[in-house]
Structure 1
Amino acid sequence: MRLTYALPLAGAATLASFAAHAETITVATVNNNDMIIMQGLTDEFEKAHPDIDLEWVVLEENVLRQRLTTDIATDGGQFDVMTIGTYEVPIWAKQDWLVELDDLPESYNEQDLLKPIRDGLSQDGSLYALPFYGESSMMYYRTDLFEQAGIEMPEQPTWEQVEDWASQINDPDNGVYGICLRGKPGWGENMAFVSTLVNTFGGRWFDEEWHPEINSPEWKEAVGFYVDLMNNYGPPGATSNGFNENQALFSSGKCGMWVDATSAAGRLYNPDESQVADKLGFAPAPIAETPKGANWLWSWTLAIPASSDAKDAARTFITWATSQDYIELVGETEGWTSVPPGTRESTYENPKYQEAAPFADFVLNAIQTADPTDSTLKPSPYIGVQTVNIPEFQAVGTQVGQMIGAALAGQQSVDAALDQAQRSVDRTMRQAGYYD
């Protein structure tokens, strides 16, 4: 969709001259709520920058990742701004696929960016993407259902407790399911959640020699628990539900609990967006054998591919969309629970945000305590909480996600799915030269 706005210039000839010289940049982004708000503020950007037109490509998460990876790996040049995550940025920067973002304007206040987020987007001390929003993960729950069942939320819930609570509040006859969790296959969809579940059950993706451990006892216990929990107390058709679908289910009152991204909190607390805004509780992501790796660390970012032929205009846009001024603009126009979270210290120091967002300090702590360098009970050779920071993980994670999706759908047993996944990942790692 092309969004172009005419400005009040003097005379048709002047307008035609302006239109002829405006530079168009193509922005590829994900169809999450914060990005839809960004797209809706196109008019504000173009008024301030009449020499730049924005053209938007807004895609579902799995499709976006596939399109962007293909384009940048082939030097396609279709996009001037790419919405990518903490996983891609350091890997693509090493390949010289991204523009280094040095010499940012002083007004951008780079030091205001939260350190865990900034560090994840840096390579050799330089930023290669700017964070649009950042997140960890947490548990949301319906306080009214918990009160009716006489359940008190502890300071740190466990997965064993979650299963018990789900059994008590599950009421499918009245359209309420005990728990909603991601089931849509994809390395950034179901595997973002499943990886943290495996972490806290004591598992890891790879041993210290890069051999996969996907059919280990820890994986089988974690994935078996997940499949049973969802089949017993989750909504039907869970393999179609990713972040956006579960957010819609929870905000419409159909889930008693939901464990997912902290970035959903603002929308769930907004009474214009959520039917459960007045009965919403939150708690840390549940743990099992260990607290390590139970809550993830992620940032959706805006980066400029080296193949762009409009780098200066793209830089102008991404510095605007990730600035303190943009956050203020969203707060004043959309409401303070709608501002992009998890990127700037100034957001969490802002009295307007603190008043509107009772979850603010909780989310900030979750982001600051997530540790990608120490996310597994046993030592591992990789960096990442819900991802493994190697180029092969995009394919590996998606393969495993599809097999776990098949187990969730009842198409094969958990053991069979994980044995198949183990063979597939072992083959990929051997071909990539990690071991003979």
Structure 2
Amino acid sequence: MSFLPQIIFAIALIFGIGYFAKNVSKIMRNIKLGHGVDTSDNTSQRWKNMAMIALGQSKMVKRPIAGILHVIVYVGFVVINIEVLEIMIDGLTGQHRIFAPAGEIYDILIGTFEILAFLVLVSVIIFWLRRNTIKLKRFLGREMKGWPKNDANYILYFEVVLMCLFLTMNGADLQLQLNGADGYATAGSFPISQWLLPLFDGLSNANLIIVERTAWWLHILGILIFLNYLYYSKHLHILLAFPNTYFGKIKPQGQFENLDAVTNEVKMMMDPNVDPFAAAPEGTEDEVPAKFGASDVQDLSWVNLMNAYTCTECGRCTSECPANQTGKKLSPRKIMMDTRDRLEEVGKNITANNGEFKDDGKQLLGDYITNEELWACTSCNACVEACPISIDPLNIIMQMRQYLVMEQSAAPMELNNMMTNIENNGAPWPYNQMDRLNWKNEG
């Protein structure tokens, strides 16, 4: 029976990590539904982007208040996980504070953990106030009702509870050390939890151990629950921000991706030496894709799909979008959220049908994202520039526009008129080709 706590802990750890691994495999499978894209270029720049944007939070701090608070939570999350490592080793071995023999180094570490835990607690409370009391506009979009709004708050509650449990565990531990309780040798520095000691006045060592052990168990189980909750949450960026910034767009933002088949056709049409009635050169048939653009998630690239899973729903893209600012329905954040929701729906379809997707009569275009949203986009790249983790909503928008134009001929009338004029007159205006340059003769 003396090994029962270690056995229970090992079972909880195996179950928690195993379920997490299962969810990760689902995410990877769903991302791989997208078509391939070449990301082997400029590896040095990609590593630099990952270091600066994901690790260094360079784009996050462009909005100083939210940026600094996020850096505190981010650093706290990373550093405090060292303490989680000790808890895991203690839980499996039946030891208590197994790193304590490190002496002064251990004291500094525990003290640092406590200060960071307190700063995280303060930051999370401010985040909650900004979201629920001050009600910043970028948190109030039409797509931020129901689950998205609740999810953001659940994460904040999780973090408050985890930090409080950590400090309560340490406070009870410190009191047991001061009482000279068996198994609680003097170890660690407790600059924050020492202020909790008045709460433990009058408690016996037996009751203090119950408090300390309860907080210990709830803390580590809470972390395992939080880890598995990530799959259902916008906080997947904790795992995906690094690969997402590495594989993010590194070309100039104004440079669009053109289809080779279309580019070659246009070049041929503009070449006066080419017979317009001649058959296409051999081999060019392979350049023509089976489908132009994208109408569903399987038509997008795997980078697009990873973008969707990585979206933090922070709303910076939407708050910078000029179309959204003028009252249009377009919200780049909603584009990413809709893509992720549809991808999850497709993934569940595949799971339910033993690894095969069966047509469900739905698609991303129309059932999730409307034509009105797509055509409201000015393609200014403001959303791409604003994203703190290199997500590119514009790329998805342009692929879906391409589908509307080239597969369904469903462009707005103004755009159809312009393209007709270019085809017939060689210019967007309804002037005869012979009259196109008359403007230069005007006074």
TM-score higher than 0.5: no
Higher strand fraction: Structure 1 or Structure 2? 1
TM range (shorter): under 0.3
TM-score (norm 2): 0.23
Per residue, is there more helix in 1 or in 2? Answer: 2
Structure possessing the higher radius of gyration over alpha carbons: 2
Higher relative contact order (CA 8 A, sep 6+): 1
TM-score (norm 1): 0.23
